Structure 1
Amino acid sequence: MCFPARDNSSYPCLASTSLLAVTTCFPLAIARSIYSVAARDFLYAKEFGYAIKLLAIAKRDDDKVEMRVHPVFIPQDSQLAKVDGVYNAVEVETDLAGKLVFYGEGAGALRASSAVVADVLAIARNIYRGVNNVPELRLNQRVTVKPMPEVTTRYYLRLNAPDRPGVLAQISKVLGDNSISISSVIQKESDLAAQTAIIVIMTYPAEEKGVQKALKQLKQLPVVNEVSNFIRVEG
């Protein structure tokens, strides 16, 4: 499920995925707000050919299910990247029909009231007819929620570090020691007075557990002033 990147929080996505989690009897593994994204992250995402969107993700992986809500980098040419304003979208990937996208206006008084009135009328109609059209939900005991540390995806990292030789080598070593390969790295604007620079890194797919461990080690690294942000990449 995709909501506009300028939504004020993770609540719309969280509510939608929580509803999905309830109907499938699975809890969320993680929820992170769009507030964690800075303006410069949107600029850097565009340079890499991505847009940032707040996604609610439900993904089946054999006998485990990923259930998470957080901002992500998605390719600019994807359909979800074009969702904006009052529009929301749901993308479903199927075995035979491929990817299906359901897109429409999902915010505003008229849209919300229309959905509520439709539900009330449906309930009243069922009561009058003495029927129950709600499908019975059964939990598949063999399927469990995939713990967030086991999730594998790509990552965007933004660091603030001293602008001097050898810094990138030490950062790369920490990532490599945690089985994280670098796809691309760019040194952005430098602060000549403070002699610092912004380093932006895109990784190849890596396990969340290793990334979180690397982030903790980077924060303790003498040549890193700050781990400013990290954002997961989908697509």
Structure 2
Amino acid sequence: MKQTFLVLIAVFAFVGCSKDDNGESNETGLSEIEMELVGDWYPTTDLEEIWYTYNADGTSIYYNSLFTAEGVWEIVEDNVLIEFYPDSDETLENWQDNPDLKHRVEFLDGGYTLKMINYSNVNEVTMKYRGGLKEDQKVSEQTYVLEFVTGELEDWVSVFAETTIYNADGTKTEVNTEVDREAKTLEVEIPEDVYRFDIMFYIEDASQVEIKFYGVDDGEVLHQETINQQSYEFSYVF
């Protein structure tokens, strides 16, 4: 059974994927990296019906449409995640000596992406994506605008942006925006109750573009720069 379970985990992970401070917290007893790990993690950004749950008490759950497995987890060697999902005839005694899964872990994108490197094979890398908000995660409390101001545009020059907005309720919104050629400006609105967004901006002739990201109500500029490149990617976590 154990071998079948591990093979299925590997298959689902493959299909889904086709803080360096480890000091302990006085409040929880968990290290910073352990607190970062607590929550639900999905093998794709679509947050489909396959996920891992890591609880603060050291228990874990692996779920997919075929079965659910309950286990335990622990961080060792500062950044190594070990997991054990016992069969009915196995106990948890000394499970750390022979875990089922063992990966070096690294958090990306402000803690919303989990990079996992197989402890025995550094070339085997998988990504998991956080489901829902982190504890104490801020969300936008006003509308924000990401503004791209171009120069004169020839008729043949394509200018557009593709934006993924992550809402506080766990849903995502995909927004495609074209440039206003008369105003020589492309604007993307980020509404309230958003905790993160990713944007890819494209201008075919790679001419100069002035970028400004600011709050509509308070006018505070959170980011500003000038680019001279065909494509530009920007992510922000509130």
The TM-score range, normalised by the shorter chain, is: under 0.3
TM-score, length-scaled by structure 2: 0.27
RCO greater where, 1 or 2, for CA within 8 Å and sep 6 or more? Answer: 1
Name the structure with the higher strand share.
2
Name the structure with the higher helix share.
1
